[in-house]
Structure 1
């Protein structure tokens, strides 16, 4: 087993930074880039085609109905991790955000851009009092996580919710970009990302036939990740094959040890979700992979079992992580 990409993470971060700079230069007349976002997004008054002029109203259709917004919000609060990534990608630094699933309080790949941002609790339980205290002019959330507090949030500020959390992060980012009046920047970010995807895909050739298995270990359960997961969507966009057991339009399957063969493929990427200060999940991973049934798998026999970063492959779930994941896959297949 190997811990893939750990020694190359700084190269991936550098590549992502360059991509975001190119995106901002190509999609906006502003000098601000996602890597150098202002304290409040309103300092970048963008009037590109596709974004509303400052005094112009627009109606945003979202998961909870419609919201009418005018101009560019200056004090945005965001209540999902993938939403935070979307805002940063279009050059908007929120005044408040829920903390990252891993980190103190932000993921490593966004912490430099999140300096001074108010921590609003966890994605599953944001702090209403703190949100109100920030006096936001826009709140971005998600129906899956926040439906029960929508009415409270709407009393504080105009509120826009995405419908779901799924591997297809582009749907939510499109909504968020429109809500913060950065539609043009969002479209440019997508164009840059899709261009890089096509570059990698064109270089893969026969390597795309490599069946890629994706597995997560926790202390409580073990899962394979299918086509509707964050990594699954990326692999499908690249045209990379999946093992038959994972080549399904579903999210995950929880495994028993009898289902260990569902982990097999030509290569297996796995990540470990560990509680702070614990090693139970890592021990569980080692236990499962020492099982005779696992040792009989093709990936075990060929040594193609690689531990990867769960933040990039699963947790972050947004534009910035998608770029990092893309580069990690390109690195493994040697098609940078």
Structure 2
């Protein structure tokens, strides 16, 4: 422990004589103002969506929070993360591992890491995004600013927006459907609303939502008694399982329930199981692009 504490408070951002040259820019984040290196070389990122932001900007972190259900990374980023070290889940960061990587910049999130902010800043300059909700672009722009890659971020967002515009045009009258988004997690069903990862993307495309989902909020947390409230012209559902099978068991219980089978979307054959990682948990630009592809495939458009 003494060795760790010495490392924690001694891990250099730059050699003492080079601090003024290395710490060259100020970034305003959720905690205030942070002076960051002009061109950080060793970045640790502590959220799944932040990891996707770095990869989209051409930066492979030296360390990153484990993907929630990855081993240690989501399948869609595993190849790109070659050489990166896992440092624990977003909600259980291993500070000793972070310090051992000697980062010159840490990207974190206030919602997840406010309590360990002092320890993180003792290791390296730490830029903290505010929330983890639907609009990934907000955090993406902040991380890009911290990295000095604002122009790359603008290009990446412009490419994404162009893909959304193209898909919107291809979907045409399909956008008149009211689409419902349901998630099964251990002990709970969530009916997702507009301020969620999938909700923001579906709104960007132009889909309608059932009245109870067409609300600027995150989700309705409920149980089987609310199955009638899950209906729409089309239902997308995904399941988060922690490894004990409880999420999957809940999914199977609901999908076999007579109430579920009475829903109009079920009877019409308009129910689609999609990836929890892509539609919700990964939460970043790479998942957003893959979600666009899923929608195009489901509707049979280019």
With the length of structure 1 as denominator, give the TM-score of the two structures. 0.81
d(CA) in 2 for partners of 1:180, 1:219: 37
Measure how far apart 1:95 and its partner are.
0.5
Measure how far apart 1:245 and its partner are.
1.7
Cα contact 2:177–2:234 (8 A) shared by 1: yes
Cα contact 1:246–1:262 (8 A) shared by 2: no
Cα contact 2:37–2:104 (8 A) shared by 1: no
Aligned to 1:318: 284
Q: Aligned pair 1:282/2:248, yes or no?
A: yes
d(CA) in 2 for partners of 1:97, 1:282: 28
Alignment of 1:126-275 (within 5 A): 126-275=93-242
Cα contact 1:137–1:158 (8 A) shared by 2: yes
Comparing 65-74 with 87-96, greater Cα deviation is found at 65-74
Aligned to 2:17: none
Query: Structure 2: which 5+ residue stretches go unaligned?
Result: 1-20
CA deviation digits over 1:249-281, x for unaligned, max 9? 1101112322111110011111111122x3332
Query: Structure 1: which 5+ residue stretches go unaligned?
Result: 1-53
d(CA) in 2 for partners of 1:172, 1:299: 35
Comparing 225-234 with 55-64, greater Cα deviation is found at 55-64
What is the SS of the residue equivalent to 2:212? helix
Aligned to 2:272: 306
Aligned to 1:50: none
CA deviation digits over 1:152-211, x for unaligned, max 9? 111111110001111100000000001011111111100111111101111211110111
What is the SS of the residue equivalent to 2:44? strand
d(CA) in 2 for partners of 1:131, 1:123: 12
With the length of structure 2 as denominator, give the TM-score of the two structures. 0.90
Comparing 320-329 with 283-292, greater Cα deviation is found at 283-292
Deviating beyond 6 angstroms after TM superposition, the runs of 4 or more aligned structure 1 residues are: none
Aligned to 1:96: 63
Cα contact 1:271–1:309 (8 A) shared by 2: yes
Aligned residues: 282
Measure how far apart 1:291 and its partner are.
2.0
Aligned to 1:59: 26
What is the SS of the residue equivalent to 1:126? coil
Measure how far apart 1:70 and its partner are.
3.6
d(CA) in 1 for partners of 2:250, 2:277: 19
d(CA) in 2 for partners of 1:88, 1:192: 15
Measure how far apart 1:55 and its partner are.
7.1
